[in-house]
Amino acid sequence: MSRGKFITIDGLEGAGKSTQIDFIKKYLSDRNRDVFLTREPGGTDLGERLRALLLDKNIDAMNPDTELLLMFAARNEHVKKVIVPKLEQGVWVISDRFTDASYAYQGGGRGIPLERIGELEQWTLQDFVPDMTFLLDLDVELGLSRVEQRGEKDRFEEEHKDFFNKVREIFSNRASKYPERIKLIDASKNIDETSSQIKKILDLL
């Protein structure tokens, strides 16, 4: 049995990740791939409980280091208990967010040194990285305007524009640093045009 592929999707709020995840799942399933969807933070019972804490806007302000450690605690459980076992079974795993988000949100947005995040990544995940990452990129104001139309916001969605500009900058830098893995997708387009960009890359996998 061949090992499955690990595909992650990341990007700013309002980029349309959920819609494109559904597209990828259908596209791969139609080609006889066994596909499993998951998300971060989350993916396990513990991870989902941590997710509730991390997204709860009603809790007291969280120290950035605490936020980062909780993210990686959830991720460690996620990788070891769900993602790796699925991949070893030949399943293609698609995750809504992964480690790139920690560099962008806790690094760029919260200002934690990227080197510290790298040390934590190496400690918990060693050399485990996605086979492919789709980074849905769009203007911050456009993304936030889409979020406004969705209703109630979580703790991250309530952050200010400058926070998201820093997040986008780190995402962009990582796409430039790892072009073979991270594929930049113009998410300012309509749904079909965005999906078409992703399809062209999936065809090469």
Q: pLDDT tens string for the chain (205 positions)?
A: 799 999 999 999 999 999 999 999 999 999 999 999 999 999 999 999 999 999 998 888 899 999 999 999 999 999 999 999 999 999 999 999 999 999 999 999 999 999 999 999 999 999 999 999 999 999 999 998 898 888 778 788 888 999 999 999 999 999 999 999 999 999 999 999 999 999 999 998 8
> In this structure, are residues 127 and 194 in contact, taking their beta carbons and an 8 Å threshold?
no
Residue 151: per-residue pLDDT? 74
Distance between CA atoms of residues 142 and 179, nearest Å: 25
| pLDDT value, residue 30 | 96
pTM: 0.94
CA-CA distance, 42 to 54, in Å (whole number)? 10
3-state secondary structure of 200: helix
Within 10 angstroms of residue 56's Cβ, the number of other Cβ atoms is 11
Q: What's the CA gap between 9 and 31, in Å, rounded?
A: 20
What's the topology of domain 6-202? Answer: Rossmann fold (3.40.50)
